[in-house]
């Protein structure tokens, strides 16, 4: 039932899914590619709020009330997105409250991710945020590994609240924590060591980075 009312679309890189201020009438699920949520401040600055990958959904909380989107969405790669009209999901929710609970759970995940970002911005230095970003990409908890940077450095910088130049310098500092960047791959010598770097006091971290 829900599926029957859903539509499905492809977007090219750079294409806009919706703009902040538009009235929300559907929730979106990324089925392929990457979508970024960003916000333009009145002074013109862009803040990347989140980047969603395959399987993730966004816009739940907004759509239900027909509020205006607080953010804009843009495809950062060619991608496929499923669109579920909010009326369809609302109806489903009325029939099965379990659905309501799982929508809430998903919304909570977003809330949690925003809280994490706030913590990082307020309490960590640039290189520490980069370290944490890399750690989240790792699949293991220890040892060494090589991760692929999921999108270009310009976007990563935005996501971490810094300029591309600063990201570049952060990568340079992380060499002392055993991280080597080559193209869009990052080789991490020792995951534990990198985690320690991201968790130590900023002033200590500074000495280590020298």
Partner DNA sequence: TGGACTAAATGACAATAATCAAGTTGCCTG
Partner DNA sequence: CAGGCAACTTGATTATTGTCATTTAGTCCA
- Partner in contact with 103, chosen from a second copy, DNA, none, beta carbon below 5 to 8 Å by kind: a second copy
Cβ–Cβ under 8 Å, residues 46 and 15: no
Single residue of 20, 53, 181, 196 touching DNA by CB under 7 A: 181
C-alpha dist (Å) from residue 7 to 4, 80, 100, 137, 182: 8, 11, 21, 31, 39
Q: Does 83 bind DNA (CB under 7 A)?
A: no
b/e per residue 109-135 (b: at least 16 CB within 10 A): ebeeeeeebeebeeebbbbbbbbbbbb
Min dist CB 207 to a second copy, Å, is 14
Closer Cβ to a second copy, 41 or 148, answer by number: 41
By CB under 7 A, tell whether 150 contacts DNA.
no
Least CB distance to a second copy at residue 78 (A): 26
> What distance in Å separates the CA atoms of residue 201 and residue 134, rounded to the nearest whole number?
19
With a CB cutoff of 8 Å and minimum separation 6, the contacts of 208 are 176, 177, 197, 200
Q: CB 177 → DNA: shortest distance, Å?
A: 14
Q: What residues make contact with a second copy under the rule CB under 8 A? A: 39, 41-49, 60-62, 64-65, 67, 70-71, 90, 93-94, 97, 100-101, 103-105, 107-108, 110-112, 114-124, 128, 161, 198-202, 205
By the criterion CB under 7 A, which residues form the site for DNA?
Answer: 125-127, 152-154, 161-172, 181, 183-184, 202-203, 206
């Amino acid at each position: 039932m829900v599926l029957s009312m859903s539509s499905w679309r492809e977007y090219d890189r750079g294409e806009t899914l919706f703009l902040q201020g538009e009235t929300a009438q559907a929730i979106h699920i990324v089925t392929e590619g990457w979508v970024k949520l960003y916000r333009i401040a009145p002074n013109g600055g862009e803040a990347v709020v989140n980047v969603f990958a395959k399987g993730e959904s966004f816009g739940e909380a907004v759509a239900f009330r027909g509020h205006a989107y607080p953010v804009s969405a843009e495809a950062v790669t060619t991608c496929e997105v499923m669109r579920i009209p909010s009326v369809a999901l609302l109806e489903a929710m009325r029939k099965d409250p379990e659905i309501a609970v799982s929508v809430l759970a998903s919304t909570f995940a977003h809330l949690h991710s925003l809280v994490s970002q706030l913590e990082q911005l307020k309490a960590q230095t640039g290189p520490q945020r980069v370290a944490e970003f890399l750690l989240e990409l790792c699949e293991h908890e220890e040892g060494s590994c090589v991760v692929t940077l999921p999108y270009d450095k310009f976007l990563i910088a935005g996501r971490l609240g810094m300029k591309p130049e600063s990201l570049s310098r952060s990568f340079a500092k992380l060499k002392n924590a055993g991280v080597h960047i080559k193209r869009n791959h990052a080789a991490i010598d020792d995951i534990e060591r990198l985690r320690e770097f991201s968790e130590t006091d900023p002033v200590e971290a500074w000495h280590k980075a020298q």
